[in-house]
A and B are shown apart, each in its own frame.
Chain A
Amino acid sequence: MNVQFRPESSASVSIKTAIADCDIHPARATNDELFPFMAKRWHSHLDTYGKQAYHGMMEGPPYPKAQPNASRRDAWPPEGGPQGSSLSFMQKQLLDPYSVALGVLNPLNSGQGLRNQDMAGAICSAINDWQIEKWTSKDRRLKGSIVVANEDGVAAAAEIRKRAGDPNFVQVLLLSRNVEPLGQRRYWPVYEAAQEIGLPVGVHAFGFGGNPLTPSGWPSFYIEEMVGHAQCQQTVLASLVLEGVFERFPKLKMVMIEAGFGWAPSLGWRLDKSFERLHSEVPYLKRKPSEYIRDHIWWTTQPMEDPERRDHLFQTIEWIGWDKLLFATDYPHWDFDEPSRVLPPGVSEANREAFYLGNAKKLYGIA
């Protein structure tokens, strides 16, 4: 039969080589999914008082998104629920066709950035249990990220230590937009605990810290938010380096998630140049800022810069190091990167393997 109705699958290609996907966003079909993992008092507390964020615009993200739920339009699960809420559909649409051997879950819309710190802790802990129950125990390719009440360093550290040695988790997750820049001391207990249990700390773009996305105020358009994540992540990174986080926690590894990486060399150059003149302001730094960045920071690839000349991309990656990039699709979000099309030709086999899988396995300790 050469004429038929709508084909079953919308995935047009499949990939045979195993890859890692270091930024997958699992969603809840309903909020009730979290209730089994929360004390009863929080069910009624949420019903009665709701969530208070540091941000305004609590009923939705601060900017409209390009597609519904910022997601691919073909990612609605057939059984209902929002995009990213069905394991079986994720397997069919992402894990199987693209041969994902390691998928790192980064739950958004958790309890991070809530002003009620006890509630933030309760929701984050429930999200961590939910990741095991609904995802990582059901598909061994998937690994979770420990989400924590980020503004309460002590509680966050306790949640991290509670998960020590649990093979369901491969990283601790923070967001880029917080009450203060992430290098400041209130966040150090997170880094101390993460270093202690041997997990990297991921910093994903977004968050609800109450500050505008940019240092000049609230911009008008979603497209400004898209590029603003890079500016925001630069602030985070400068703060981490200049506050001495990597001197204080020399084994700490961090992952910059979903904010690009093309800006990294210029940030390193500018920091190094200022550092030559202003070393006396931050004398506890023993090395040039760029050296901390290159040693301690990994980068996920979605969104990957797409310069007009591919040698510009390769030069940028050489500055960062081919051993520091982690492939990510950002599934199910609309700016999804298709693995077979994202890396231009001209990359050695060894670097391709590191880019798509090897770096992630090494960083996240997956055999």
Chain B
Amino acid sequence: MTRHVIAAVDELPPGTRKFLDIDGRPIAIFNIKGEFFGLLNRCPHQGAALCEGPLIGLAQSSDPGEIEYTKLGEIIRCPWHGWEFDIRTGQSYCDPKRFRARAYPVNVEPGTAVVKGPYVAETIAVSVESDYVVVDL
């Protein structure tokens, strides 16, 4: 497993996402309310670029006419067929038993740790004063 430095934390404010190609794999990193999550940018259903879809919430209902809208900004909706996945876990809400989006662990590391560590950070200049978004792959 290699750790990759993706961006300085300041570059990825809450509600934004960044698309990357890491060792040939299309990945997207999301900042959801200050927490970072990574997903494979490929829908497990028919292969669309999943992470280019809109960020929505989850409509749930206990009874007809009663609709609760939760997890606002935490659900990614596929740009083709509208399949919904939880960004935190990769769980599908359309067909959870058969399909799951591949999730990658993302962490925030201080510059001091990143500079010392065996990380891959070819596109960003790392300085010890900043915090960095790091993904394990």
Contact = CB atoms under 8 A, between A and B. Distances in A.
Contact of A74 (B5, B18, B21, B48): B48
Interface stretch (B31-39, B65-73, B120-128): B120-128
The size bracket of the interface on A is: 20 to 34
Contact of A4 (B20, B42, B82): B20
Given A2-B120, A3-B123, A338-B46, A67 B26 contact: no
Interface string A66-77: 110000111000
B49 A74 contact: yes
A327 B79 CA distance: 22
B123 A72 contact: no
B4, B20, B46: most-surrounded residue (chain A CB, <10 A): B46
A12 B26 contact: yes
Interface string A111-127: 00000000000000000
A341 B19 CA distance: 25
Judged by DSSP, the binding face of A is loop
A277 interface: no
A300 B82 CA distance: 22
B120 A338 contact: no
Interface in B11-57: 18-23, 26, 42, 46-49, 52-54
Interface stretch (A164-172, A280-288, A329-337): A329-337
B4, B48, B54, B124: most-surrounded residue (chain A CB, <10 A): B48
A66 B124 CA distance: 39
B122 A3 contact: yes
Nearest 9 A-B pairs (CB), nearest first? A73-B79, A6-B19, A10-B49, A338-B46, A12-B47, A3-B123, A341-B46, A74-B79, A66-B82
Interface of A: 1-7, 10, 12-13, 66-67, 72-74, 334-338, 340-342
